[in-house]
Amino acid sequence: MTRPHESAHGGSNASPTAHLVLMRHGETTWNTLGTVQGQSPGSVLTALGRSQVRATIAQLSGRVDAVVSSDLARAVESAHIVATALGLSARVDPGLRERNFGVLEGLPGAALVPSVEGISGGVVVDENAHPANGESLRDLYERSVRAARRVGQRRPGQRTLVVTHGGPIRMIRAYADGRPLMGCAWDPVANASLWPVEIELAPELELDGLAP
The residues annotated as belonging to the active site are 25, 98
Residue 58 three-state SS: helix
CA angle 195–67–53, rounded 5-degree value: 60
Q: Where are the beta strands (DSSP E) in the chain?
A: 17-24, 66-69, 90-92, 119-120, 123-124, 159-164, 194-200
What residues contact 78, with CB distance under 8 A and at least 6 apart? 23, 25, 26, 45, 49, 53, 69, 163, 192
Nearest to 95 by CA among 36, 45, 154, 179: 154
- d(Cα 179, Cα 112) in Å, to the nearest integer? 24
